[in-house]
Amino acid sequence: MEIKISARQMLKILYVLSWIIFIGVCIEAGSFVFNAFFTLVINPVNASYFNLSGLYAYDPGHFAVMLLLMWIVTVLKACMFYLIVKILEDKKLDLAQPFNKATGRFISGISYLAVGTGLFSCWGIKYAAWLVKQGVQMPDAQQLRLGGADVWLFMGITLLVIAQIFKRGIELQTENELTI
Amino acid sequence: MSLNELSEKVDITLSNLSILKTGKAKAVRFSTLEAICKALDCQPGDILEYRP
């Protein structure tokens, strides 16, 4: 029995998945802010939530910077999924005429956010490596939510190239629409 | 002849005719020009003008 999935069905599945991931990433970003505030102001024992007790004991300033980098990466990811949810919600992905300004802006936005996520993840990992050299016990990149920096950078740069090609597609489609 | 009649004769949508009328068209296909000339019984030069 052959099962065919149409583009519309695929978009619906992606829409639901995007919402789930967006909510999850927002909760994660919120947890970073809450836990940072709680650890720095109320109870330092909470630093163990991120396995950063060693870092907090070494220097609360470095702890705050590390959490800030982790929070920025999570917020950038949330922005990305917000853009995806928004374009699917507004139904601006017109498969009949895909080369429109809204889709072009979407691809450009996602590419900049992906490059930003990659850069901040890279800096976070290098910062963590520097802290390890200072003798601080640090969790790995995955536990710091900074994994896959190179993948984000690759995706961002690829999307930047695609965005440039898309611009030409928009020009061609606009010209075609005004051709009688 | 009204725009509706012309659109029916030439088989172009009203929106496309409106684009032609308001001067927003970037290009016209020869097939479209031929159909318009046939419907209006005229020559392309009668309906096209160059303005420098």
* pLDDT tens track for B1-52: 788 888 888 888 888 888 888 888 888 999 999 998 998 899 999 988 888 8
CB proximity B12 to A under 8 Å: yes
B24/A179 Cβ within 8 A: no
Q: Are A103 and A162 in contact (CB under 8 A)?
A: no
**Closest alpha carbon within chain A to B35:** A180
Please determine, for residue A1, whether its predicted confidence score (pLDDT) is greater than 70: no
Q: A51 φ, ψ to 5°?
A: 55, 35
**Residue of higher predicted confidence among A48 and A136:** A136
Write out chain A residues lying below 8 Å of B12, CB-based: 180
Please determine, for residue A5, whether its predicted confidence score (pLDDT) is greater than 80: no
pLDDT tens per residue across span A11-44: 889 899 999 999 999 999 999 899 888 888 888 7
Residue with tokens 């800096």, as numbered in its chain: A123
Please determine, for residue A47, whether its predicted confidence score (pLDDT) is greater than 90: no
Min mean pLDDT across A46-50, A61-65, A99-103 is at A46-50
Q: Rg (Cα) of chain B, in Å, rounded?
A: 11
d(CA A94, CA A86) in angstroms, rounded, equals 14
Q: What is the dihedral of CA A55, A57, A60, A64, to 10 degrees?
A: 30
Cα-Cα-Cα-Cα dihedral sign, residues A126, A62, A43, A26: negative
- Give the distance from residue A8's alpha carbon to the nearest chain B alpha carbon, in angstroms: 27
CB proximity A172 to B under 8 Å: no
Q: Which residues of B16-50 are buried (b: 16+ CB within 10 A; e: fewer)?
A: bbebbeeeebeebeeebeebbbebeeeeeeeeeee
A175/B19 Cβ within 8 A: no
Helix (H, G, I), strand (E, B) or coil at A179: strand
B27/A175 Cβ within 8 A: yes
Q: Are A71 and A31 in contact (CB under 8 A)?
A: no
CB proximity B29 to A under 8 Å: yes
Name the DSSP class of B51: -
ipTM associated with this complex = 0.78
**Closest alpha carbon within chain A to B14:** A180
A175/B32 Cβ within 8 A: no
